[in-house]
Amino acid sequence: MSSLPRLIVLLLRMRVPEAWLEFVLGDLEEGMIQRGGSSREARRWAWWQAIRIVVRPPRDRAATRVRVRPDFRHFHGALGDLRYACRGLARSRWYTATAVGVVALSTSLGTAVFAMVDGVLFDEPPYARPAELYVLNGGFHKLPDLVMPSVSTPDVTAWSAVAGPALSVTRMRLGGGVPISDNEYLRSGEIDDRFFDVLGIRPLFGGFEDGDFHDAGRVRPALITWRVWHQRFHADPRVIGRTLMDSKGSGLRVSGVLAEDFVYPHPAGVVAPEMLVPIRPPSPAAAQNPQVRWLHVVGRLSPGTSLADLVPRLDAAAARVASTFPPVDSTEPLSPARQITRGPFDRVIVRPLGAVLTESTRSVAGAVFGAFGALLLLASLNLAGLAAGRALDRRRELALRRALGATGRRVVRLLLVEHALVIFAGAVLGVAAARPLLDLSMSLAPDGLMLLKSPAIDVRAIVFTVIAAAVSLLTTTCWSARASTSVTERSALSEGGATTERGRSRVRMVLISGQIAAALVLVIIGVLFSASLMRAWAEDTGFSRSNTARLRVHPGSSFGVPAITELLDAIEAMPGVIAAGGLNEPFLERAITGSAFDAPAGALPLDADVENLAVTSGFFGAAGLRLIQGRLPTRAEFDGGQPVVVVSRTVAEAYWPHEPALGKVLRKRKQAYEVIAVVDDARYRALDAEPGGEIYSSIADQPGLANVIVALDGNASRRLAEIVTMIGTRFPRVRVARAETMDQALSASIQRRRFHTWLFAGLGGAGLAIAAVGIVGLVGMSTSQRTREVGVRMALGATRRRVVQQMLTEQLWPLAIGLVSGGILAGWALRFLQEYAYKLSIYDPGIWMAAMLVIAGAAAIGSLAPVIRATRVDPVSALRAE
């Protein structure tokens, strides 16, 4: 009985010519017997020999000599096709490198983009039956677009009562920081006892007990997030019962850990909490006051309940609450819109939770995904162009094969294998590059970015990549197969490739125009975002940007004015520090704390909130605020707590529109404060947020320190490091959370804008590069096919300049068609991105002109290089070329 493995026999039967097969099998059998028959070593030897023979089988010379039909053995098996394709690609290195590069670039961007937007656009929120979940908000018929984020306890009680079992609601709110040491806090989300039941989720382990929701102690039971569990507790499973608190006894006791995919059901753009604690009203009285809106409400609609039936009942409940609503003080100088929002709700707005969660992310995620779609189209057109060009270059070879008996199907199969190889290689490279690209993108992502799941190159992303690659493969193969099989054997063999077919130039025009159009859309969007970022960056902040720095500090709760003064004096005494000032408010963190000062009678309404900033006297000098009128407060006045204030220009003009603000009096809780100076407006919330108006009062009124502003002399980074070291040594209780130059702080304040710009400018840049490569390839292909024509022209006396001019003029049509169609597409697409343009119109002529010039420049460079190369040939050798 034969000891040769059957599979070896089968493989050899497929590959080895009949004339050799018997001898080869016999030799293998004999060799195996010599090595011990079916021993492991013998089998290994046989397999090794068989593989070598399969890869390079012996040839049948006799058959070669008498052959009447061509040997298309390579076409018969997939392995043969693969070998043929590999050889063909190895011969055309430029084509292979370009095509693989284009696929790799588009795949890496596509995979990274999909991983980012998957949670927002395609995946469901991580709750049970998420389609049944809704967010309930109050609204006003007179302001149909306004959705009030929070509601009061009486509102929720009334809404729940009318809905009955049709709607189960849970109440929550974003709480403040809960101390875990003297200068560290965790952001909390407060939830009621129905939270997990309504959302249909469970913690990873642990949970609240009934008593936790009535516990008013200083140490609060908390469910920490998976990330906090890992970062702070190193994923210790015995974490339950651990207590973290400050020296005053306030803190938290770990009651459980939330699941890794937990998403706090709050509208996007808000930094997610790091733990959940049982909800507590601001005060017992506030809990019953319809004017105190402090809750967010999520409800689950019972199966079979219609939203259309429920909403009118909820509106009726809102009307009942309105009847008990206290009258609104209409004497306050508020804009009409703000007067309305101070009043009772007259309608209830019910929106699907999934849509609310991704509200601010969805449009940009959709736009990014759309932009990627344009890039994929561009890459497909590009590949199709390159492949069609290659097929046309090889049309004589392919036609010869067909003439010798290869069917059209076999030729298409060969092209398919070749393109599959290119796309596979590019996709593998692209997926490998997607991970670092995704990490880089996420490092630039803003804190409050709601993605519903952590971006990762997971199975979904890989499946998406495979689908995108399959689409590219199909497009590319169809196009090149059409190009190669549409040329008849006779025409391909007889024409000699010397003339240009009209159809071929039409195809080229479509490919070039399509690429220009897709690239233009991407570039215009990229330029719009870049211009918006630059415009925001160039805004006047109102305070000094150069040689200024900010330290975000957490000094603990009992850090009074003397301690603040001591800290600031110590900083000021350091070499290289010109001035230091303290601020007990958020700075460049997009937060508004409002003002307790009463507006004077006769004040003009302001749309934005006036901010009351508690500062030290050194703040004005350190921040470099521009003084407009009056004098800045002395140390004795401000740090000593005298009743004086400084107001910004907007406040001065709105509060006292017809007279100077100096010497006027502002009241806060019946205490009178004299205005001693007016300073210029400043952007404290963010670089791209308009100043709302500020009232600067003494830090003695609201003791505490959140930010230290330092004016430095020279090397800011080194000086900052020295300051942090000094604080760590001399003031160990003060934790410095961030120390950054003003430019870094300003840059961080427009993190979201920077992130969007990075995404769109990246896609635009990639689109431009792909289009330029595609144009070089297509124009190069066309010019190389016209070498003979160029030779004839130059032999007949045409100058090089004239030939270049004429060939470039021919590219104007595809350029014009591409620009017009791309412009129309971009005009439509940009309408969805209006909100992201900063003080710019989406139809800004400068932006459009810049984008078109960039595209035209890339097209010109792409066309010029091959055209010049074509005209450099010697006319005599050009005529001999075919």
- The residues binding another protein (CB under 8 A) are 2, 4, 20, 22-31, 33-34, 48-49, 52-53, 55-59, 61
57 vs 823 by CB, closer to another protein:
57
For residue 89, the minimal CB distance to another protein (Å) is: 25
> Tokens 């791309």 appear where?
822
15 vs 300 by CB, closer to another protein:
15
2 vs 546 by CB, closer to another protein:
2
DSSP string, 776-820: HHHHHHHHHHTHHHHHHHHHTT--HHHHHHHHHHHTHHHHHHHHH
| Cβ neighbours for 139, distance < 8 A, ≥ 6 positions apart | 146, 147, 148, 345, 346, 347, 348, 349
What phi and psi, each to the nearest 5 degrees, are found at residue 548? -125, 150
24 vs 632 by CB, closer to another protein:
24
2 vs 799 by CB, closer to another protein:
2
For residue 73, the minimal CB distance to another protein (Å) is: 16
Q: Is residue 558 helix, strand or coil?
A: coil
Using DSSP bridges, classify how beta strands 577-583 and 707-712 pair: parallel, antiparallel or unpaired. Answer: antiparallel
For residue 74, the minimal CB distance to another protein (Å) is: 18
58 vs 352 by CB, closer to another protein:
58
**Could you give the angle at the alpha carbon of 306 between the alpha carbons of 300 and 310, nearest 5°?**
75
For residue 495, the minimal CB distance to another protein (Å) is: 36
Q: 671 forms bridges with which residues in the sheet?
A: 668
57 vs 366 by CB, closer to another protein:
57
46 vs 275 by CB, closer to another protein:
46
For residue 56, the minimal CB distance to another protein (Å) is: 6
Per the CB < 8 A criterion, the answer to whether 340 and 142 are in contact is yes
Q: 551 forms bridges with which residues in the sheet?
A: 708, 739
For residue 404, the minimal CB distance to another protein (Å) is: 24
* Element housing 858 (H / E): helix 845-871
31 vs 333 by CB, closer to another protein:
31
Type of residue found at 195: F
52 vs 129 by CB, closer to another protein:
52
For residue 874, the minimal CB distance to another protein (Å) is: 35
E-state strands within 416-463: none
Q: How far is 407 from 404, CA to CA, in rounded Å?
A: 9
Query: What ranges in 811-844 are assigned the alpha helix state H?
Result: 812-830
DSSP string, 151-166: B-HHHHHHHHHHHGGG
23 vs 813 by CB, closer to another protein:
23
Q: How far is 463 from 188, CA to CA, in rounded Å?
A: 37
**Could you give the angle at the alpha carbon of 91 between the alpha carbons of 86 and 96, nearest 5°?**
70
Q: How far is 31 from 28, CA to CA, in rounded Å?
A: 5
Q: How far is 754 from 752, CA to CA, in rounded Å?
A: 5
Per the CB < 8 A criterion, the answer to whether 451 and 122 are in contact is no
Using DSSP bridges, classify how beta strands 671-679 and 644-648 pair: parallel, antiparallel or unpaired. Answer: parallel
Token pair belonging to 5? 């493995």
Token pair belonging to 672? 């009178």
52 vs 635 by CB, closer to another protein:
52
For residue 421, the minimal CB distance to another protein (Å) is: 25
For residue 9, the minimal CB distance to another protein (Å) is: 10
23 vs 122 by CB, closer to another protein:
23
Per the CB < 8 A criterion, the answer to whether 759 and 370 are in contact is no
For residue 70, the minimal CB distance to another protein (Å) is: 21
Token pair belonging to 535? 């415009």
For residue 260, the minimal CB distance to another protein (Å) is: 54
For residue 6, the minimal CB distance to another protein (Å) is: 13
CA 508 to chain CA centroid, Å, is: 35
For residue 23, the minimal CB distance to another protein (Å) is: 4
Per the CB < 8 A criterion, the answer to whether 333 and 605 are in contact is yes
Per the CB < 8 A criterion, the answer to whether 552 and 720 are in contact is no
The size of the chain, in residues, is 882
